[in-house]
Amino acid sequence: MTKKRILTGDRPTGKLHLGHLVGSLQNRVKLQDTYEQFVMVADVQALTDNFDNPQKVRDNVKEVVLDYLAVGIDPQKTTIFIQSLIPEIAELTIYYLNLVTLERVLRNPTVKDEIKQKGYGKNIPAGFAMYPVSQAADITFCKASLVPVGEDQLPMIEQTREIVRRFNTLYGDVLVEPEALVGNIKRLPGTDGQAKMSKSIGNCIYLSDSVDEVNKKVMGMYTDPARVHPTDPGNPEGNPVFIYHDAFNLNKKEVEDFKVRYRTGKIGDIEIKKRLAEVINELLEPMRKRRKEYEDQPDKVDEILRSGNHRAQEVAKEVMAEVRKAMKIDYSL
């Protein structure tokens, strides 16, 4: 029996952070045995809003791949590849653009938020506005049925499902309708208290941060702004320090105890933050080690990418042949 497929990926706009870990990476590590998994470094998508800084995208491709290997994505089980090396994805995007309206694309709430965050105003680059369509091509080029992502990506999966249904209705049953799989923590807030930890905002704890960097970032974290003294009653609800404890501290009794003492003004922020920094450093330590091992073997990393790209190209050719046939553009000239 052939395994079902997973497709997911990340934009090489920076190193990966704790948000990626809980949103998607943990699920990838867990599911790589049961699914045939494809993990894509989305350089084409990163260029949609970084076209004026290609060096940044180029440099971060390597960083993202090292992060994958560091968290335990196993290249023997998972196909790691680079988006731009699969031209079929670009080709599919062109065909899918016929199946969506401008109005529909601009209604996407995540795209709307990002347009606001990037301050595009009325000058939205067309490529950026269309990236959800390109993402539909990413997911479907290998007929993936499952997509492990953070909550901000749910509108993209919905859009993909619509495109798949429209394609299959018009041209015949070729594509697979994917489902999203959101991680335990749907959207990890930033260290600054903003709703989402994000590379583009810079409110991140990176998986590759050193012990000192983690300590510094955690000690500077946003907490309950209404609490001035350790004896003031504080609110753990929606407080990023507690959200991180819930996400990463395996000692649930300790976390509950912190919450009770915080609410009643019997513990200082410093004690809670110190413990959080410890917990995060314990979590990251094995990743730092594994990252270093691969950093020291650049040839091995190149080989992993070479064979990953090769495998993705094989699959892309197979699926593209079916798509071309269904769309009556399968010329044998």
Summarize as ranges the residues that interact with ligand ATP (CB under 6 A).
10-11, 13, 19-20, 22-24, 149-150, 152-153, 187-188, 196-200
- CA separation for the pair 73, 37 (Å, rounded): 10
Tell me whether residue 113 or residue 322 sits nearer to ligand ATP (CB atom).
113
Q: Which of 227, 219, 327 is nearest to 275 (CA)?
A: 219
Q: Minimum distance from CB of 244 to ligand ATP (Å)?
A: 11
Torsion from C-alpha of 152, 154, 159, 160, nearest 10 degrees: 110
Residue 47 to residues 92, 93, 148, 272, 273, Cα–Cα distance (Å): 18, 15, 22, 40, 37
From first CA to last CA, the distance across the chain in angstroms is 35
Toward ligand ATP, which CB reaches closer, 19 or 178? 19
Q: Which residue type is seen at 62?
A: K
Instruction: Measure the CA–CA gap between 185 and 118, rounded to whole angstroms.
Output: 25
Tokens 């970032």 correspond to: 217
Give the shortest CB-196-to-ligand ATP separation in angstroms.
Answer: 4
CB nearer ligand ATP, residue 46 or residue 301: 46
Closest to ligand ATP by CB, 17 or 167? 17
Comparing CB distances to ligand ATP, the nearer of 36 and 114 is: 114
Return the number of the residue (88 or 152) whose C-beta is nearest ligand ATP.
Answer: 152
- Give the shortest CB-18-to-ligand ATP separation in angstroms: 8
Pairing mode, if any, of strands 78-82 and 179-182? unpaired
Closest contact distance (angstroms) between CB of 327 and ligand ATP is: 29
For residues 80 and 74, what is the distance between their CA atoms, to the nearest angstrom? 9
Find the shortest distance in angstroms from Cβ 154 to ligand ATP: 9
Work out how close the CB of 256 gets to ligand ATP at its nearest, in angstroms, rounded to a whole number: 23
